[in-house]
Amino acid sequence: MPRFPLRALPLAVALLCASARGAPAQERPTLSITAPSTDQLTRTGPVVIASRMLSGRKLQELLASGFPARLHFTVELWSVGTWSSDLERIVEWDVVVRWLAVERAYDVTQMVSDRPFSLGRFTQLSDAEAAVARPVRAQIVAFASRRRFFYQATLSVEALSVTDLDEVERWLRGELRPAVRGERNPGTVIGRGIRTLASRLLGGERREYEERTGVFEVRTADGRR
Tens digit of pLDDT for each residue in 20-35? 454 444 578 999 999 9
Burial class (CB in 10 A: 0-12, 13-18, 19+), 54: buried
Q: What is the mean pLDDT of residues 160-168?
A: 60
Entry pTM: 0.73
Q: Which residue has the higher pLDDT, 198 or 106?
A: 106
| pLDDT band per the 50, 70, 90 thresholds, residue 37 | very high
The share of the chain scoring above pLDDT 70, in percent, equals 65
The better pLDDT of the pair 224, 178 is held by: 224
pLDDT at 158: 87
Question: Who contacts 99 (Cβ-Cβ below 8 Å, separation ≥6)?
Answer: 63, 64, 65, 66, 105, 106, 107
Q: CA torsion, points 94, 100, 199, 72, in degrees to nearest 10? A: -20
Average pLDDT, the chain: 77
